[in-house]
């Protein structure tokens, strides 16, 4: 199978990037912060390389998606690969994950403080 350029802009491209998978790792929230734990190595998939380069500093999943111009689901799949290989760590949001449950007031107080100090 010949590997086509990834920027062809059609659904096939997404299929290629993820090796045909469409089920994402739900553990990655939009605002999960990803940090590289190693440098890219030769022969790595180009998207993996770019993620490792971006995440030398903590970077949110949604920023990776915007930078790579790939849909969230695709980025979650790529991050799942890197996490399984131990090449990244993930800092997940501590806010309540279920809809309709409020975050604790201590957290909100910190948010308020931060906003007022902008």
Partner 1 sequence: MGSATSELPSQRTPLADAAETGLKIVIVGGFGVGKTTLVRSVSEIRPLNTEEVMTQAGVGVDDTSEVAGKTTTTVAFDFGRISLNERMVLYLFGAPGQERFWFLWDRLFSGTLGAVVLVDTRRMDESWYAIDRLEHHKLPFVVAVNRFDDETTRYSLDEIRQSLALPEHVPLIDCDARVRQSGKDVLITLVDHLYALATAQETT
Chain residues binding partner 1 by CB under 8 A are 11-12, 14-15, 18, 20-23, 26, 29-33, 40, 49, 53-54, 56-60, 62-63, 65-67, 69, 71-73, 91, 93-100, 102-105, 108-116, 118
Nearest distance from residue 70's CB to partner 1, in Å? Answer: 8
Phi/psi of residue 40, each to 5°? Answer: -60, 150
Minimal distance, residue 86 CB to partner 1, in Å: 19
Task: Write down the least CB distance from residue 84 to partner 1, Å.
Answer: 19
The CB-of-90 to partner 1 minimum distance in angstroms stands at 10
The residue (of 63 and 83) whose beta carbon lies closer to partner 1 is: 63
Q: Would you say 31 or 84 has its CB closer to partner 1? A: 31
Contacts by 24-28, CB closer than 8 A, 24 or more apart: 24/72, 24/73, 24/74, 24/76, 24/77, 24/80, 25/76, 25/77, 25/79, 25/80, 25/83, 26/76, 27/80, 27/83, 27/90, 27/92, 28/61, 28/75, 28/76, 28/79, 28/80, 28/90
């Amino acid at each position: 199978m010949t590997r086509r350029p990834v920027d062809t802009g059609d659904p096939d491209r997404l299929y290629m990037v993820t090796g045909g998978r469409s089920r994402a790792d739900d553990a990655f929230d939009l605002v999960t912060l990803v940090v590289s734990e190693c440098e890219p190595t030769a022969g790595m998939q180009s998207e993996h390389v770019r993620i490792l380069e971006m995440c030398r500093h903590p970077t949110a999943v949604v920023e990776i998606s915007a930078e790579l111009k790939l849909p969230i689901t695709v980025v979650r799949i790529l991050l799942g690969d890197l996490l399984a290989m131990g090449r990244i760590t993930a800092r997940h949001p501590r806010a309540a994950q279920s809809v309709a449950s409020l975050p604790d007031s201590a957290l909100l107080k910190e948010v308020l403080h931060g906003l007022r100090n902008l």
